[in-house]
Amino acid sequence: MTAITLAEAYQVTESMIRAHSRSFFLATSFLPMRERVAIRAMYGFCRATDDLVDDPAACKPESLALWRAKVLAPPSDTEHAVLVAWADTRAQYAVPRIYGDELIEGCEMDLMKSRYDTFAELERYCYCVASTVGLMSMHIFGVTTGVDYEDARPFAIKLGVALQLTNILRDVGEDAQRGRIYLPREDMARFKVSESDVLQGCLDDRMRALLRFEIERTQQLYAEAWPGIGFLAKKARFSVAVASEVYRGILGKITQNQYNVFTQRAYLSKSEKLRRLPGIWFRTSRLPSD
């Protein structure tokens, strides 16, 4: 018998989100209570998995293998609060196991790779660490009448890739300090940006052109993913739209900062997020109804 109650386990995931992701906390606040609790439990699992590889030097592949085994163990066999809450949510909503496996696969990539040759390689990484989150979320949110999960799947994948690319672009400088470059080598070569340019934080016209290119690609993915929000159950649309549009705003901040991703962190203040809500509501209301 586990030493932690289910209510306590869910409370831990709630506290985790409050502490580590204000944007996600805001977006999920617009969900009905049942879905809100479930989606935050899912976030807790994703966050805890990602935390394992925050320090690649300290994390070994066997650590992730052990974590995968714990994820699949019955809740009664673990005292890990996040896993207790996630196991309950996963069972309630019949979330397929494969997405959790692929999420862990993406985290394993961070242990093995610090460079990506092509965008296709990077896109696979983004799928594993972010699109899988959207695919799991769809099972919690549900889809609208007359829509199959497979119809909504491509949009969820694109949104996940866009969100992760936004993370990558915001964190170019921080990642460089860790010796890690996510920008595809093929794109760097196109704009004549070297690895040393990135690692040394060289912000010149070449770097700005590269970052502008990556931002435009990411903006296109957001635009292509937007219609998929209309495929979701109506109760979830505004929440997903807020998550998408608030995060998308980071790209605008990077541009406002003259593409300085090395010494200026791009983010939206709480007031800036709140000011966007009416416009997001209006756009969401124009999506096709059930």
Dihedral (CA of 127, 248, 216, 267) sign: negative
Higher pLDDT, 269 or 63: 269
Q: What is the pLDDT of residue 56?
A: 65
Same domain, 118 and 13: no
Residue 51 is predicted with a pLDDT of 85
Q: Are residues 224 and 265 in the same domain?
A: yes
Residues 48, 51: Cα–Cα separation, whole Å: 5
Is the pLDDT score of 64 beyond 90?
A: no
Pair 196, 258 in one domain: yes
Q: Is the dihedral of CA 152, 158, 161, 165 positive or negative?
A: negative
Residue range 198-206: mean pLDDT, rounded: 98
Under 8 Å between Cβ of 290 and 145:
yes
Shared domain check, 231 and 151? yes
Q: Which domain holds residue 53?
A: 1-95
In a domain, 108, yes or no: no
For residue 146, the domain's CATH number is: 1.10.600.10
Residue 107 belongs to some domain of the structure: no
60 lies in some domain? yes
User: Token pair for residue 124?
Assistant: 């696979």
Place of tokens 């005292």: 79
The pLDDT, as a whole number, for residue 55 is: 65
Phi, psi angle pair for 58, to nearest 5° = -95, -20
* Predicted model pTM: 0.92
Report the number of distinct structural domains present in the chain: 2
- Taking residues 70-86, what's their average pLDDT? 83
- Do residues 197 and 276 both lie within one domain? yes
pLDDT greater at residue 79 or residue 67: 67
Q: Are residues 141 and 84 in the same domain?
A: no
DSSP class per residue in 28-61: HTTS-HHHHHHHHHHHHHHHHHHHTTSSTTT--H
Give the pLDDT mean for 96-106. 94
Contacts of 118 (CB under 8 A, 6+ apart): 184, 185, 186
Q: Is the pLDDT of residue 2 over 60?
A: no
Please check whether residue 101 lies inside any domain of the structure. Answer: no
Are residue 228 and residue 138 in the same domain, yes or no?
yes
- The C-alpha atoms of residue 220 and residue 137 are separated, in whole angstroms, by 22
Domain membership flag for residue 70: yes
The DSSP result for 256-272, as a single string, is HTTT-TTT------HHH
Q: Is the pLDDT of residue 57 over 70?
A: no
Q: What is the mean pLDDT of residues 221-229?
A: 97
Contact at 8 Å (CB) between 13 and 40? yes
Question: Is residue 286 domain-shared with residue 204, that is, in the same domain?
Answer: yes
